[in-house]
Amino acid sequence: MRDDWDDVVRQLEDLLRKMGWSEVRMCEELWRFVGVDVDEFRMHGIEPCAWLKGLESLRDLRRPYWFGFAMGRLVIKKLDDKIRLELDTKDSIDAVFYPTLLKTVKMPRLDITQGRETPAEKPTPESITLSYHIDLGINEWPWPIKLNADELERILDGFGDGELAEFVAGAIDGGGAVWYKRTAYVGITACKDCPKRFILDVLRRVITERFGITGTIKSRRTKDALVFRGKNAIKLLGRVVEHLHHPHRRLRAELILAYYSTQHQEE
């Protein structure tokens, strides 16, 4: 039954491609939906659909990106005879990015749940949760599902520089942010009292020792965040930008790097 569904979806995609649809077209429509002028960005040398580049390489779950992405919002469930990868969202950009990412491995299934409105109330975008998942064989997920700080350090210390940059990009895409407020910032978050909190301490040490880039752990009410600012954020973005695939984070990273490159040239 599952294979039949995948075949139907592939046939529909083939038909859409013949009619002029493509991943780039989908990306352009996404940006128009959220009010981004893709032509304006392209006139200034910024490609808003750069996040699609290299996605095909992620069909290999052994890529460090997946391990980094699992540090964030990716839920990994070990069921009786399979491993389930699941992503939930109420966000319009994530609603496109998540299935696009999962589809590199396997065609995802979609479940839609609605909030607790009364029957008389109309559903709003904020009340609807989209849940995407794929099911893998019990041995197909190559990374530890549960690990401690020592195990994470051992794995990260075994990565080459490029692999570590890819891991960090996955962590930013899966549970981080890129923004600009008088200077550049990159943040990777973890809930304050959950098992994944130790990740921030390990990442801060490894990134500092390997790349000479210093971050600070900021404590918030429900979450903690490893934050890089200013020149440290720029250096980190320079390392990871080619591996970022979240549309919003990749576009912001490209914009920030282009801005600082222009500033440097003017100086």
pLDDT averaged over the chain?
87
pLDDT top residue among 84 and 24: 84
Burial 113-139 (b: 16+ CB within 10 A, else e): eeeeeeeeeeeeeeeeebbbbbbeeee
Is 62's pLDDT higher than 90?
Answer: yes
Residue listed under structure tokens 């576009």 = 251
Give the pLDDT band (50/70/90) at residue 6: low
Q: For the sheet with 184-191, list strands across it.
A: 176-180, 184-191, 223-229, 216-219
What is the C-alpha separation between 249 and 173, in angstroms, rounded?
7
Q: Domain 2-266 belongs to what topology?
A: Endonuclease I-creI (3.10.28)
Which stretch of DSSP H or E encloses residue 184?
strand 184-191
For residue 89, list its beta bridge partners. 130
> What is the C-alpha separation between 11 and 127, in angstroms, rounded?
32
Residue-level pLDDT at 7: 57
**Closest to 226 in 3D by CA, of 190, 187, 266, 267:** 187
Distance of CA 230 to the CA centre of its chain: 22
Residue 130 half-sphere exposure toward CB, CA atoms < 13 A: 18
pLDDT in tens, 171-199: 999 999 999 999 999 999 988 777 778 89
- Bridge partners, 110 (sequence order): 132
What is the mean pLDDT of the segment spanning 140-160? 94
Q: Which amino acid is at 133?
A: H
